[in-house]
Every structure is written in structure tokens, then in C-alpha cells.
Amino acid sequence: MRTILKLLVSIIGVAAIVFGIIFIFQSGPAKKQVADNIAPVTLSQLNATYNTVTANLTTVMQAEEPNIQVGTAQPSATFAYLSAQQAGLGLAKSNVGTANMVLMMGIVDVLIGLGLFIGGMLIPGKAKQ
């Protein structure tokens, strides 16, 4: 019974290590894809650009929203552009956060896998009678 437990824990540990390595290698291309999609904005400028767009949208919204609510005006092209830009940059921020989470989960999986594998090897075999 102990031999089966030892083997099972070790196999789960190896599987966790493999998945962790896969996660680590997948996070890099994900960030690169986001960076390519938001060019010419760089990943280091993403938060500042998002905050600037949000502030500009808030200013435009405060000026136009009362007339839009009453029905006397339509949203301007600037309002529509800033809304779309804010949505796109917000999605980019979300994707960067997801890629960072995948990287962190990969590291955690590798550490857990190492612990399981070593723990599985340290489980004593059959008791001698």
C-alpha cells in the first residue's frame, strides 16, 4: 500500500512540475501578443495611458452627458473614440494581469510539484517484518 502511495504522490508531483513549466513558457508569448496589439503604447506605459484616457473621457463625459441624457445631442466622435480606447486599454491591462497570474501559477506549480515528488520519494517503502 505504501509503495502505491509513494508512486502516486511522485507521479502527481511530476505532473505538477510539467504543468508549471508549460504555464511559465506560455506567459511570455501572451505578454508579447498584448504588446503587439497595443503598439505604439508599450506595456510599461499601459497604466499611465489608461489613466490619461480615463481622465479625458471623464472630462468629455461631464460636458456631453447632460445633453445626451435629455436627448438633445448625440455622443461626439471624441466621446466614442475615448470610450473605445478606454475599453481596449482596459482589456489589455486585464490580459497582462492574466499573463502575470499564469506565470505566478507556473512557479507555484513547479514548487508544489517538487514538494510532492520529494515527499513521495521520502515515504517509507514496505515495513520490514
CA distance 37 to 47: 15
Mean pLDDT confidence for 30-49: 93
For range 123-128, the mean pLDDT? 68
pTM: 0.78
Is 32 part of any domain?
A: yes
The pLDDT score that the predictor gives to residue 127 is 59
Q: pLDDT by residue (tens digit) across 45-63?
A: 999 999 999 999 999 999 9
Q: How many residues does the chain have?
A: 129
Give the span between the Cα atoms of 15 and 19, in whole angstroms: 6
Residue 128 lies in a domain: no
Percent of the chain with pLDDT over 90: 75
Q: Report yes or no on 77 lying in a domain.
A: yes
Domain that holds residue 94: 2-122
Q: How many domains does the chain have?
A: 1
**Site of grid cell 492574466:** 98
pLDDT digits (tens, 9 = 90+) for 75-112: 899 999 999 999 999 999 999 999 999 999 999 999 99
> Cα separation of 76 and 59, whole Å?
13
For residue 1, what are the CA distances in angstroms to 8, 9, 117?
11, 12, 17
Residue 129 in any domain: the answer is no
Q: What is the pLDDT of residue 67?
A: 87
Specify if 116 maps to a domain: yes
Cα–Cα–Cα angle for 98, 104, 107, nearest 5°? 145
Q: Identify whether 127 is part of a domain.
A: no
Region 9-25 average pLDDT: 95
